[in-house]
Amino acid sequence: MDKQVNTHKGLNDLLARPLLETMWRRRTHRVPRGVEEVAAGSMTYKSEQEPKPLSDLEEAVLIATTGATGLTMPDRPFQDPDTGRLVMAKPNLTMTGRTAGSPDNAQGTHFFLINDSGTYFLRQLPPSGEPFSPETLIARAAEAKVQLLDRRLDVNQGGRNFPAYLDSNRLLSNLPGTTILVPVVDLSHQYINGLMYLLTQPDGSRPALVDDRNFYFSAGVKEWVRKKFLNDDIKVPLGIIGSLRTQLEAPLLLQNLFLVAEAMGLGAWIHATISPPVLTGDPKFSDRYGPMLGFEHAVPKWRLMDILRWHVPLPRFTNLRSHPIALRHKGEDLIVAKCPPNFATMSDAVDAVLEKKFGTGGVYQDRETFKKIYKDDYGERYLAEAAEYNQDVISCARDVCNYIYDTHGRFPAHCEAIHVPGVWLQVHHVEIPYYEKFFKDGLTECHRNHDDLWDGDGGS
């Protein structure tokens, strides 16, 4: 969004607040306004206030912080200076940037928002050139929100124990008046894309992938080793590849959200979510807790070798390896992982990633976007000169992906298709009397001034 002077006191204060000051004074504030009780022996505290939910504008600022902020730059070399050989310079899955970094700009992190009015999925909107104003922020927040439930997502009060909540978290987490932001990360797109990127190394440096969940046998690449496309002296286990770091997006975005909440004078708290399989509605827990967020799960068919590979002793325990693979709501695909049963085969899933990047309408066919990124005709030069994945890279990646699914009955096998990091951010109005009573340096002037700056219309 374009930044410009506006008449809202809270927004103006937020835009003027020094980053280093916010970082230096940042502290977790767990106790929300209107808390029923903080039972702590002689420090037991009961609020005399009512819970106060965040305003539409306060939540809209947080929602904007999860979203797109403009376009990234492919500021990378695409030739080896020693050999002149082209190196891969088109790894990005999207050119849209966010407030936090992402491996190959995968941007696989999606957010849910929970408040007193309901539980929402937040669509990833394209960047906006509109002014940074209350009206624009609130309108875009409304456009982003997809209501999944007309209530605050939670387990019943009697069930606020492990495996749903951890220890004392159950006493202050997800209370009335609070807003929760929950990240989940689709790892499947970048798993395929990152695998292809790994296979673009120079001759002699491309690793032979082995399966550490299958006695370190070749992960479908024997023929590629025989052809010398892969170097059998460099073995990389699939378990080491893991999630290709895509899961790191979520904590970076949560930290940004935390800092924004702090700069607004709100309380913020990153802590353990409701247990991830409970949260997504995993079949292991859905009988007890219900569908929760309502993800579709894939449960691989049990095979005899699962006893050794995954320590699943009998077919009746096969849901130990279930994982979320899609979220759909009223006919709309909100998150769809690149794996069966969403695709007929893993070859189809790989082709879908390639189509999104290089096919008609794909990232690297969108010349108008690169005109916005580059000056003069440099965007056209980049698109014409920078290398794409060659056919050997694509075919080898297909073989690895098909091996994983055929061998283990799910994709990915060594991580989830859709990963729940297991932490969420709670944002709330601070119970100021609590912090004033017990702590020497519990509040900043930003917390004390919050209501004056943000209540009402915020007009100057």
**Partner residues linked to 86 by β-bridges:** 79
**Nearest Cα to 290, choosing from 117, 153, 150?**
153
At residue 156, the pLDDT reads: 84
Q: Please state the rounded mean pLDDT for residues 180-188.
A: 98
Q: What is the mean pLDDT of residues 78-84?
A: 90
In angstroms, the CA 93 to CA 108 distance is: 10
Band of residue 159 on the pLDDT scale cut at 50, 70, 90: confident
Domain boundaries, the chain: 9-30+53-428
Residues 207-237: tens digit of each pLDDT = 999 999 999 999 999 999 999 999 999 999 9
SS3 168: coil
* DSSP symbol at 454: H
Share of the chain above pLDDT 90, in %: 91
CB-facing half-sphere around the CA of 150: CA atoms within 13 A:
0
Which residue would you say has higher pLDDT here, 262 or 5? Answer: 262
Q: CB atoms < 10 A from the CB of 267, how many?
A: 25
Asked if 410 and 300 count as a contact pair (C-beta separation under 8 A), the reply is: yes
- 315-352: pLDDT as tens digits: 999 999 999 999 999 999 999 999 999 999 999 999 99
Say how far apart CA 250 and CA 97 lie, in whole Å.
Answer: 14
Average pLDDT of the chain is 95
Q: How far apart are CA 426 and CA 414, in angstroms?
A: 30
Digit-coded pLDDT (tens) for 19-65: 999 999 999 999 999 999 999 999 999 999 999 999 999 999 999 99
Identify the residue whose tokens are 């309408």. Answer: 361
Whether the per-residue pLDDT at 458 is higher than 60: the answer is no
Residue 416: band (very low, low, confident or very high) from pLDDT cuts 50, 70, 90: very high
d(CA 133, CA 458): 12
